[in-house]
Every structure is written in structure tokens, then in C-alpha cells.
Amino acid sequence: QVQLVESGGGSVQPGGSLRLSCAASGSIFGIYVMGWYRQAPGKQRELVAVINSGVRISYADSVKGRFTISRDNAKNTVYLQMNSLNPEDTGVYYCYLHQQFRDYWGQGTQVTVSS
């Protein structure tokens, strides 16, 4: 059993920044993938960024150069630094963890970008 707890969401103006955090607890084996997905109103959930245990990283094209994902393996925590935010970044951001052929999801944290 794995639990994911997210924090850091909120409301910002266009051009602003937010930093999301997600801490995992429970049956963590030490080799796992963590990342972030988001879902805008009326749209499908999409991958934002993912990072594996070897610090291999992938980003969605829409966030490259603006968002940075990182992880602290000792804390089983993943971060998402979001800069130069625009209204299209608005949505619910979900933390995700993959381990031993299982996917785990956080409850989601709201990010709103508006002027």
C-alpha cells in the first residue's frame, strides 16, 4: 500500500510561479517512478513530467523550459517547480507513482492561473 500527499497548489497571475510537492509513504521498495499529471476542465488527463530512480526525466512539450521536476529519494518526495505560468496551465495536478506494475495516485491539487 502506497499513499501520496500533495501540497503547494494555489492561484497565481500569469507569469507567476508555484512549487508542488508530493510525499510518498507506505510500501516503497526503493526503485520506482514518480511524476505529475494534470487535468484541465473538460480535457483528458495528461502527463506533465516524470522522473525515474536514476533521475531520467521526460516533460510534456507544453511545459519544457518552464517546469522542472526533481526528487529526493531519501524522502520519497517529488517536486514540480512551475515558472512562467499561463492560463492554459490551469487544472488539477495529480502526483503519480509507479512500482512493481502498480500505479498510485494522489488526490490532486488545484492550480489556477488567471489575471
On whether the CB atoms of residues 112 and 10 are closer than 8 A, the answer is yes
C-alpha cell of 56?
A: 531520467
What's the pLDDT score for residue 88? 97
Strand partners of residue 100 = none
What does the alpha-carbon distance between residue 86 and residue 43 come to, in Å, rounded to a whole number? 17
Which DSSP letter does residue 114 get? -
Is the Cβ–Cβ distance between 68 and 113 less than 8 Å?
Answer: no
**71, 58 contact by CB (below 8 A):** no
Q: What is the pLDDT of residue 111?
A: 98
Q: Which phi and psi (to 5°) does residue 23 adopt?
A: -105, 130
pLDDT 10s digit of each residue in the chain, 115 long? Answer: 899 999 999 999 999 999 999 999 999 887 789 999 999 999 999 999 999 988 899 999 999 999 999 999 889 999 999 999 999 999 999 999 999 899 999 999 999 999 9
Q: What is the structure's pLDDT at 28?
A: 87
Strands 18-26 and 77-82: antiparallel
pLDDT confidence of residue 86? 97
- The dihedral sign for the CA sequence 74, 55, 99, 46: positive
